[in-house]
Amino acid sequence: MPGGIDPHAHLAMDFMGTQTIDDFFSGQAAALAGGTTMHMDFVLPINGNLSAGFEAYKEKAKISCMDYGFHMAVTKWDDEVSHDMEVMVKENGINSFKFFLAYKGSFMVSDELFLEGLKKCKSLGALAMVHAENGDAIVEGQKRMIELGITGPEGHPLSRPPVLEGEATARAIRLAGFVNTPLYVVHVMSSDAMEEIAKARKSGQKVIGEVVSAGLALDDTKVWDPDFITAAKFVMSPPVRAPGHDKALQGALSTGILQLVATDHCTFNSTQKAFGIDDFRKIPNGVNGLEERMHVVWDTMVESGKISVTDFVRVTSTECAKIFNIYPKKGAILAGSDADVIILDPKASVKITAATHHSRSDTNVYDGRTGKGKILVTIAGGRIVWQNGELKVTPGTGKYIKMQPFGYAFEGIDRKDAEYLKSLGAPVKRSRALS
């Protein structure tokens, strides 16, 4: 089948006073061992400057051993940012921009900035992406937990419950609808958020929902573990939810409410996680997944009969390639496509352990998990890079994949704009004479 494409990972990312333990070589090597042959990372601006951020990430990615693409975060708004967005789309091959409604004081944007960003994305044919949690309410939730004396990892999910993800998802969807531009909701982790996406898609709005492997396969049980390191390794945002949300997300993926599976691979080792041993607010947020995603999705969704093998290829590869306008170069096995191919044995068993994975992290949220569906061979760009349990990868062999604007999500946007203008029945002609 076509190699997997992970649309959401954070390698060599500076965050919460540290840097993710996996860089563009170790993270990609792990991905190749797990059947993923391309990933998309998020360029973070430097002091709000997009160009400076792009140059920094180009440097970080020089050690890549597989193909990759970039999304870009927007964290402030001025004429320079607006101009740089155009440069990124027209010259640098970026066709998506991410807006955070969470992380107050760092990445979080106001509704006003979000609206400006949505308008600019629409004009450029770039896909607006959103991390949908209510950042203001999360700060209030964190204060509440601290006042109650809850300082351990369990304070993290308790301070940002599903209702805050649902509210922000609904708000983002409505604002995107107001502007009439497509919206991509990253890492949908709750039934609350999923239901808002279902409602919008049923009404005909262009909303894409991304679920991550952790959301499909895990629940929050372990975050209550008495061992801090065990509990802290599950801290991510939005949080892994209580049992039941995972099943709802599996159902949404199987019925097309959610379109594709990513990882939000953002790894910190146990030493880094221990920064928050006395205060959950200081635990670096993030879990692993680049190496495990294909195995976890196969076992959770295909082996259980929830989706077909064809659907598996779609949700792990093809749909991503189509959304970000790189199909059939990626996401297909066709004449002219890149030679990214994997061989999976559906009958073979896999056991995931922190001791044998290829990430640099000393922990793994899937540690001890066994399941069916084993990646036997990974071919990236025509090169066999994983076979017989052996990796053959070289830093610097990965290519940057430019992504063009106006992907399929923009189909019909112009017609809807025209219908809107026609429906206004305004302005009304009035006499200027005053009675």
Question: Which domains are present in the chain?
Answer: 4-419 (3.20.20.140)
**Is 149 a residue whose pLDDT tops 70?**
yes
Among 192, 184, 365, residue whose Cα is nearest residue 259: 184
Q: Please tell me the predicted confidence (pLDDT) of residue 345.
A: 98
Joined tokens for residue 313: 């290829």
The Cα–Cα gap between 229 and 351 comes to: 21
pLDDT tens digits along 92-132: 999 999 999 999 999 999 999 999 999 999 999 999 999 99
Q: What is the pLDDT of residue 318?
A: 98
Q: Is the pLDDT of residue 435 over 70?
A: no
Question: Model confidence at 434, in pLDDT bands (50, 70, 90)?
Answer: low
Q: What is the pTM of this model?
A: 0.98
- Average pLDDT of the chain? 97
Confidence band (pLDDT; 50, 70, 90) for 18?
very high
Predicted local distance difference test score (pLDDT) of residue 105: 94
Q: What is the pLDDT of residue 432?
A: 81
- Per-residue pLDDT tens over the stretch 66-96: 999 999 999 999 999 999 999 999 999 999 9
**What integer is the mean pLDDT of 307-331?**
98
Strand partners, 375: 344
pLDDT, mean of residues 373-394: 98
- Virtual CA dihedral for 363, 213, 14, 65, nearest 10 degrees? 90
> What's residue 431's pLDDT?
85
**pLDDT value of position 327:** 98
% the chain with pLDDT above 70: 99
Mean pLDDT for 307-319 is 98
Amino acid at 313: V
> Could you read off the pLDDT of 19-71 as tens digits, one per residue?
999 999 999 999 999 999 999 999 999 999 999 999 999 999 999 999 999 99
Q: What is the mean pLDDT of residues 216-243?
A: 98
